Amino acid sequence: MTAPRNLETVELTKRFGGVTALDGASIAFHDGKINAIIGPNGSGKTTYFNCVTGMIRADSGQTTYRGHDITRRPPHAIAAAGIGRTFQLCRVFPRMSALDNVLVAARPGGVATRLRGARGRAEVARAREWLAHMGMDHLEGVEAGNLSWGQQKLLELAGVLMSEPETILLDEPAGGVNPALIDRIAALVRELNAAGKTFIIVEHNMDLVMNLCEHIVVLDRGRPIAAGPPSVIRSDERVLGAYLG
């Protein structure tokens, strides 16, 4: 059984000086599923995200998204192709209001739309909806830098969702977040997945990964060493070996 391909990389390689962060990583993710990338610290997970989203340029290798080559495209074009992402240490625009943080991600359209007022009624309504979805509608006027850590995480997610991605890359969604919020984020991922969004999640919280994800890729020293559903990964000796070193 092969699920339709979503994001796929062939022989992706990235070196930083003498360190090889990605070493010919060939990985395929399943469309419409909740995928995960796990692996020990420094195994290249975040570098992988940065390469496929165009934030850093891979030295060699190819990235395709649903059959289209996106290897050397700039990040904004990759975003426009339907891939949204969050960042490892959650990143918001600190001196912009929560509402503006979400509005920024609205799909821009042509030149005329860009020059018109940012607060078009339809967009504002949609942005408020996402904020309300996160339980933050009462905070829309607050500068994002003044929000708590957990609120910023939710705000970042609301912004990504505003850009209407088909595929969402989450970099450690549970990092530094209290258990109640982890449950909420997991529920949100499930709900969005049911609505058709594909997820690719980098995460250290094994309970979350094993419960939430359907397809797991294990990275070690910049290359995949195992891939499969949680039941297979859990019993794979190579995975255990990689984590124990």
Partner 1 sequence: MRSVSKARVWLGLPVLLAGVGLVLSFPSLAPNPYLLSVGIVVLNYAVLSTAWNFMGGFTGYISLGHGALAGLGAYGTALLITKAGMPSFAALFAATAIVALLAIPLGFAALRVRGASFVIVSIALVLILLLVFQSWASLTGGSSGLVVPRPFPQLLRPEHHRVFYYLFAGLLALALLCWWLIDRSRFGLGLKAVREDEDKAESLGTPTFAYKLVIFTVSAAFTALGGGLYALWFGDLDPVFQFSILSGAYMVLMALLGGVRNLFGPVLGALIVGIGLEYFKVEYGNTPLHLVASGLLLAVVVMFMPDGVIPSVSNVFGRFFQPTRASIREVSAEQLREEARR
Partner 2 sequence: MPSGGLLLQSVVLGLLLGGLYALLAAGLTLYFGIMRVVMIAHSAFLILAAYVAWWFNVRTGLDPLLSLAGTVPLFFVTGVAMQRLLLARLRPATLTMMSVLLTFAIALFIEGMLGYLFTGTQRRIQLAYSASSLDLFGARIAVVKLIAFGLAGAALLGLYLLLKHSRFGWALRATIQHRDAARLAGIDTDRVAGYGFGLGLATAAIGGTALALDATVYPSLHWHWIGPLMAIIVVGGLGSIPGAAIAAMVLGMAQSLLQIPLGTTWAQTVFYLALFATLALRPQGFFGGRLAQRF
- Residues engaged in binding partner 2 (CB under 8 A): 16-17, 56, 94
Q: How many residues bind partner 1 (CB under 8 A)?
A: 47
Q: Distance of CA 79 to CAs 52, 68, 75, 162, 211, Å?
A: 11, 14, 6, 12, 28
Please tell me whether residue 68 binds partner 1 under the rule CB under 8 A.
no
Instruction: Report the residue number, 55 or 210, with the smaller CB distance to partner 1.
Output: 55
Q: Which residues contact 145 (CB under 8 A, 6 or more apart)?
A: 92, 94, 95
Determine contact, residues 95/177, Cβ cutoff 8 Å: no
Please tell me whether residue 41 binds partner 1 under the rule CB under 8 A.
no
Q: Which stretch binds partner 1 (CB under 8 A): 38-46, 155-163, 177-185, 235-243?
A: 155-163
Q: Distance of CA 82 to CAs 25, 29, 132, Å?
A: 22, 15, 23
Write down the least CB distance from residue 155 to partner 2, Å: 17
At position 238, the amino acid (one-letter code) is R
At position 222, the amino acid (one-letter code) is G
By a kind-dependent CB cut-off of 5 to 8 A, residue 238 interacts, out of partner 1, partner 2, none, with none
SS3 of 56-75: the string is CCCCEEEEEECCEECCCCCH
Write down the least CB distance from residue 221 to partner 1, Å: 26
Q: Which stretch binds partner 1 (CB under 8 A): 102-110, 177-185, 219-227, 236-244?
A: 102-110
The contact mask relative to partner 1 for 158-197 (x = CB under 8 A, - = no) is: -xx--x----------------------------------
In the set 148, 194, 195, 196, which binds partner 1 (CB under 8 A)?
A: 148
Q: Which residues contact 27 (CB under 8 A, 6 or more apart)?
A: 8, 9, 12, 37, 48, 217, 224, 227
Instruction: Report the residue number, 58 or 213, with the smaller CB distance to partner 2.
Output: 58
Q: Which residues contact 133 (CB under 8 A, 6 or more apart)?
A: 158, 161, 188
Residues of this chain that bind partner 1 (CB under 8 A)? 53, 55, 74-77, 79-80, 84-85, 87, 89-97, 100, 103-108, 113-119, 139-142, 145-149, 152, 159-160, 163
